[in-house]
Every structure is written in C-alpha cells, then in structure tokens.
Chains A and B, each alone.
Chain A
Amino acid sequence: MAYDKFDILTSTAVPLPIENVDTDQIIPARFLKATERVGFGDNLFRDWRYNQDNTLKEDFVLNQDKFSGKILVGGKNFGSGSSREHAAWAVYDYGFRCVVSSFFADIFRGNCLNIGVLPVQVSADFLQKIFDATEADPTTELEVNLQEQKITLLPTGESESFDINDYKKNNMLNGFDDIDYLLNIKKDIETFAENTPL
C-alpha cells in the first residue's frame, strides 16, 4: 500500500517510557475485526487510554493535552508479540510517522517499514535524554533526518545516527513498497518456482 514519502520530520514527541510494549497493548485483539485498513488509530493503546466504561484514563500520555506530535518514543523492546500489522496501522493512523526506541521487536519493525512508519533505534542513553527532555518540556522538538540517518534533539543539538538498510531507506524516501519491486522481478521468481523441490 502506498504511503507518503519520508524525508525530514520535525516534531514534538509523545513519551511512553515503558519497556516491552507489546502489540496487544498497541491494539488489542478484539479490535482486529475490520476487513479494511480504516479506523485503527481510534483503538491505539485502547486499554491504556480508556477505562472499561470507555471513559478516558486521564493520566495516560495520549490523553494529556500537553503531549502531541508525530513521533512516538517508547521503552526498550517496543512492539513485541504478535505479527499483527494492525499495530503499525494503528500507530500510523493515529498520526505518528516515526517510533523511537532503544530496541524494537523484529516483526513490528518490519511492519512499520512496510507501511511508512520509520522505526528509529537509538542508544539507551539517548533514549533517556529524549524522555527527560520531552517530559521536562513537552514542546521539545526532535528532528529525524532519514537521508542523513540522524536524529537530533533540537534544543540542545545533541544527535545520534541510526541504522536502516539502503533498500528500505530508498523505499521510504520515495514512498515505494516491496510489491512494486517483486513484481518487477516476477520472471526470475517464476523460473525459480519451476525449480523448487517442494
């Protein structure tokens, strides 16, 4: 599915300093029943955002007006658990284009890259700096520069570089997806298929 190109993102951030945030928290299974990719943002972090009577949990970060932005910052091992791409859809649909953490679960990271959410892995120290800065001043802006693979805390200018392979980087810079690539090598795939043992 096509998505907007990602180049430089400058935004405030929403801090969620919890480790092992799993995909069941990002979007609980009972909200996976749609047959189209619409409305998942409404249920992002559903059970942390809402009480069981659907009233808001005032202390949860998404319910605090002072925090907003297109960058979600989570604790170590963000996105562990299920393969549901709905978790990445929910993050995107809510309005985030980038998730920052010191460690990502594999499938969640891959899903994000496939739909146009940039996962940015930083050191534990830099992550803590971001948490401290945004919590002290929610208007703190971060700059995520994909071309240069660099994330910067704008008020102090402190920055760190992050990894992404050239292929995925190019995809995100241009809004390409993998299917376009695969369809272009369809002949090679057909030839390969004819020679597979199974």
Chain B
Amino acid sequence: MSATKTLFDKVWDSHVVHKIQDGPDVLFIDRHMVHEVTSPVAFLGIKNRNIPVMHPEKTFATADHNTPTINQHLPVADPLSANQLKMLEENANEHGISYWGLGHAKNGIVHVVGPEYGITQPGATIVCGDSHTSTHGAFGAIAFGIGTSEVEMVLATQCIMQPKPKRMRININGTMSKGVTPKDVALFIISQLTTSGATGYFVEYAGEIFREMSMEGRMTVCNLSIEMGARGGMIAPDEKTFEYVKDREFTPKGADWDKAMAYWETLYTDEDAIFDKELTFDGSLIEPMITYGTNPGMGMGISNDIPMANAVQGGATTYQKSLKYMDFNEGDSMMGKPIDFVFLGSCTNGRIEDFRAFASIVKGRKKADNVTAWLVPGSHKVESAIKEEGILDILTESGFQLREPGCSACLAMNDDKVPAGKLAVSTSNRNFEGRQGPGSRTLLASPLVAAAAAVTGKVTDPRELMVELV
C-alpha cells in the first residue's frame, strides 16, 4: 500500500484495534491522564463491575481543577473539593497509577505537566476527561477530550470507541506581527470559523506561522482547537518537537529513543494527501485579539468595534442576548473599557513563555489600582522557571503576586471566582456566561493584552506599550 495519508490518518489508523461496520472504531490509547473531577464516577464504574485497570502504567493522575492556588500546604477548606482530591489519591493508589497530587513537586495542570515530563509524545493517542486535551496535539499526537463513560472504558480496556472524524487542514503563512502571539492566531481562527465551524473534524495546522512557533505556542493553538468545535488539532512534529521531548522523564532513552525517532520521523502529511476541508489565511493580517461576547468565536482585532448583529453569522437573538450579558452594545469599541480582574494562567496560557510575555509589558510599570490580578503558573515546573529567570522579581516590583499552580479562575471551581458583573481580561479559553464565577464577564486575550490591561486598568492595545521594541 502506498496510498498517501494525512498525519492524522497515519496516527489514527495505526491505533485501530478493530473496525465496526457502520459504527465506531475501537481505538487503542497510549496515554491516559486523569484528574479529580471527571474520574471518580469512572473508577466507581470499574469497581461496580469488579474489573481492574488494564494498563495502570499508561494512566497518569494529577490534581488541578479543584485545587486552591494559595496556601496549598494547608488542608483544602471546601469539603466537596477535598473529597474529590482524596478520592483521586485513593483511586490512584488502589490501582497503581502514578499520582501527582497537591503539594507534589510535579503537580500542575494536566495539560501542562504531560508535556513537561515527556508523557506527551509524537504519534501517540492521548485522552483525558477534559476537552483541552487537544493541547497535546502540538507534538503530532492525536489527543482529545472524552466523557466519564470513556474514562471508564480506558481504565477497563485501554480503548475507546470513536467514529473517525473528518480531516481539516488550516494553513497560515506569513509571520506574526508585533504584539501578536499564538493565542491571537488561535482566537483569529476561531473568530473566522465560529465555535462550531470545525465540529466533526480533526484539524492539522500547517504553514510557516506554526513552524516558527515554539512548542509552548503550538500547545496554545492546539489547546483552543475544541473552541471551534474540532475533536482536536495537531501539528506535524519537527526538530523543535524532538528537541523538546528529548531527555524528559518519561521519554524513551538510548535504543528506545532511536526506535521512537524512526516512527516519529514518518509523522507528516504526504504531499498529495486529501483533506475533507482546507482553509488558508494570511498570518500577517492577524492583530492582537480580544473577545467581546460569551463564546470564543466572538472575537476580533483589539482595535475593531463590536460587530452589528446583522453582520454576524448565526441568529441575531442569541447574539444580542450575549451582548446584553456582557453589558456591551453593537458598535462599541473595546479599547478603553475599564476592567476589574486579570487572570494569567490555565492550560491555554500558563506556561513559562506566557509569563515572559506578561513580564515584558509590566516591567518598569505598576499594576493599576483598580485591577485584581491572579497570576497562576500552570505547574510547579513553570513556577520554578519564573523564579529562576528573574520574572518573579519583575512581577513583584510591579505590584503583582504569584499564586500556586492549578486551573484556578479558568473555570472557577476553587475560590478564584470573578464576582458577578465584574469584567476580567483572561488568558484562559472560555468566556461562557458565568465561566469564571456566577455573573462574571470574561474577555479572552493573550498574555500581552492581559498585561497591558493589568497596568492600565482598561482594555489597551499592547502595541502601544511596546514602542521601545520597534
């Protein structure tokens, strides 16, 4: 067989255990990550069926969604959160699954620690009961979020049953302009496709703009694939990928490395391979982005005005309901809108590169008095790098404090909740109604835009604060 294949086909097809006529494929899973929120019912399920975890060495547990981001050395105050964390620890211990709980040196957000320790590898199938599992696609893995029933399937059989998604390629050439980050590239794509534009597809990102991105940047882009409805997104591995993966705790060593490399070097889309859908954008036209509504597709270049209802895709009623929730009007400019909170963190933008970007803007400036800022590293490893690189000194000097790792205000399951009515500029991934706390209002943006808002107290184009870099 010399049929041409896409990167996605190569990885998917090599993991199909069994095909069902007019049904899903049985897909073998190489790496399974679990956290405290979506796993307890799955563990309960295998207990009730009286079956063991088939491959405990392929499952990795970390606590992140519920964890506090201050005083992690103290007992978790919320009894429900504490119980979920306790259950995860007990389940991991009972089944011999590695567990990086609260206080563990390797603890952090599941999608940050996976790559950091080399659990994430090219050509692997990776699942987790969390939709932002798509992050790991940055390494040329097929990675996607699953429901709790599927978590149970993986625990019990190391497989899930999934119909094969269609293939989409998004090509962006050109380079990122000043003030533009991978987050802006992703928010731009979502604004073009809407939140359902890639539903049913698995996306490959291709072109110069992604090739030039760091691994952290690629993770940010792949992370947000789900926000346009895609099952996942992936980028073909290259030298940058192999360099990142090499010598991490869980990556192959010696002869095993050579064997793995032989596989990984085949992971690219063949020249004549066919996609079900292909889109091309000019990267040089992308601006720093900001959202103005209640889904990630409602985004625009920061200097634009909020579109009129009759100019957008979808129903006007839903659009106007969204703007009403945000307390914005059609035609408003976002620039200069006073803000109350800034959140830097999450599996989208909680990596070292994001803190470097944030620090580059706040350096020599002071946090605005009207702003409450939550700066939450994605992991202890990120936290250590922030300290070692002197970024903490810059942040402290500017009036910011660093919190401890976790998902935090991205979904506000812990105490990091934006109060009702307050406006937050957040580097996270969802601006849904109440996402960051009941009644909270979220503007999604890059770490640069978040930093510019943090020091000016209002929505500000970060390029205005970057003049010295011209």
Contact = CB atoms under 8 A, between A and B. Distances in A.
A75 interface: yes
A114 B413 contact: no
A81 interface: yes
B353 interface: no
B318 A107 contact: no
A82 B151 CA distance: 15
A182 B23 CA distance: 13
Nearest to A50: B438
Given A83-B146, A178-B153, A20 B318 contact: yes
A198 B41 contact: no
Contacts, number: 205
Contact of A183 (B40, B51, B432): B51
A192 B26 CA distance: 11
Contacts of B412: 29-30
- Tell me if B's interface is mostly helix, strand, loop or mixed: loop
Interface in B60-91: 65-66, 78, 80-81, 83-84, 87
A20 B26 contact: no
A157 to B, nearest CB: 28
Given A30-B413, A81-B432, A105-B199, A114 B318 contact: no
A165 B161 CA distance: 12
Interface residues of A, number: 58
Given A24-B430, A36-B40, A80-B295, A107 B30 contact: no
A111 interface: yes
Given A77-B195, A165-B163, A197-B260, A182 B26 contact: yes
B156 A189 contact: no
A19 B153 contact: no
A12 B229 CA distance: 30
B433 A25 contact: yes
A80 B21 contact: no
Interface in B23-49: 23-24, 26, 28, 30-31, 37-38, 40-41, 44-45, 49
Nearest to B125: A198
Given A85-B149, A185-B26, A1 B45 contact: yes
B80 A33 contact: yes
B318 A19 contact: yes
A65 to B, nearest CB: 23
B158 A85 contact: no
Contact of B18 (A47, A86, A188): A188
Given A35-B84, A77-B229, A165 B55 contact: no
Contact of B438 (A28, A32, A35): A28
Q: Residue among B66, B160, B199 with the most chain A CB within 10 A?
A: B199
Given A168-B23, A181-B161, A81 B131 contact: yes
Contact of A188 (B17, B21, B133, B411): B17
Contacts of A24: 411, 430, 432-435
A80 B196 contact: yes
A109 to B, nearest CB: 9
A20 B150 CA distance: 24
B38 A196 contact: no
Contacts of B196: 20, 76-77, 80, 103, 105
Interface string A1-41: 10000000000000001111010110011101111110000
B124 to A, nearest CB: 5
B34 to A, nearest CB: 12
B159 interface: yes
Contact of B420 (A37, A52, A186): A52
Nearest to B162: A110
Contacts of B49: 179
Nearest to A192: B17
Interface in B189-238: 195-196, 199-200, 226, 229, 231
A88 interface: yes
Nearest to B141: A198
B115 interface: no
B316 to A, nearest CB: 10
B372 interface: no
Contacts of B18: 185, 188
Contacts of A77: 195-196, 199, 229
Nearest to B20: A167
A9 to B, nearest CB: 21
A33 B84 contact: yes
Contacts of B149: 1, 85, 111, 114-115, 177-179
B147 interface: yes
A173 B148 CA distance: 22
B121 interface: yes
B430 A81 contact: yes
A136 interface: no
Nearest to A18: B318
B156 A29 contact: no
B439 A52 contact: yes
B157 A179 contact: yes
B315 interface: yes
B413 to A, nearest CB: 5
B447 interface: no
B130 interface: yes
Interface in A155-198: 165-168, 177-179, 181-183, 185-186, 188-189, 192-193, 196-198
A102 to B, nearest CB: 10
Given A30-B412, A106-B231, A183-B157, 15 more contacts: A18-B321, A25-B434, A29-B411, A33-B81, A75-B315, A104-B199, A106-B229, A178-B149, A182-B157, A182-B159, A189-B158, A189-B159, A196-B30, A197-B263, A198-B121
8 contacts: A20-B314, A30-B413, A33-B66, A105-B229, A106-B165, A182-B26, A196-B28, A198-B260
Interface of A: 1, 17-20, 22, 24-25, 28-30, 32-37, 47, 52, 75-77, 80-86, 88, 103-107, 110-111, 114-115, 165-168, 177-179, 181-183, 185-186, 188-189, 192-193, 196-198
Q: Which 4 A-B pairs have the closest CB atoms?
A: A167-B23, A83-B145, A85-B147, A33-B80
